[in-house]
Amino acid sequence: MAEKTLSAKKQQELQVQYSNYKDTLQAIAQKIGDVEQEGEEHKLVLETLTPLPGDRKCFRMINGVLVERTVSEVLPALQTNAEA
């Protein structure tokens, strides 16, 4: 009887560990997807802003706040973010 209880307890521990690993992998996959999507968004914005004159007004979201900038001010920061 002691062996069956130990075995059941071990199986339960392994199941919990498996679930934790599975959850961690799903979180990592989600984060990878988010980073890839953000990279694509940076690329699209760079492609859109690059041909525009540097003194043209544009808006950028910084920590949830929409700020007014010029294209020449925004492009270097976007390029840095896209490369990172």
Residue ranges making up the domain that contains 46? 1-83
pLDDT for position 83 = 79
Q: Which CATH number do you get for residue 72?
A: 1.10.287.370
Q: Would the pLDDT of 2 be above 60?
A: no
Whether residue 49 contacts residue 71, with contact meaning beta carbons closer than 8 Å, is answered with yes
**What's the pLDDT tens digit per position in 8-54?**
889 999 999 999 999 999 999 999 999 999 889 889 999 999 999 99
CB 69 within 8 A of CB 59: yes
As a whole number, mean pLDDT of residues 59-65 equals: 91
Beta bridge partners of 61: 66
Q: How many domains does the chain have?
A: 1
> Can you give the pLDDT at residue 5?
67
pTM of the model: 0.66
pLDDT of residue 32: 96
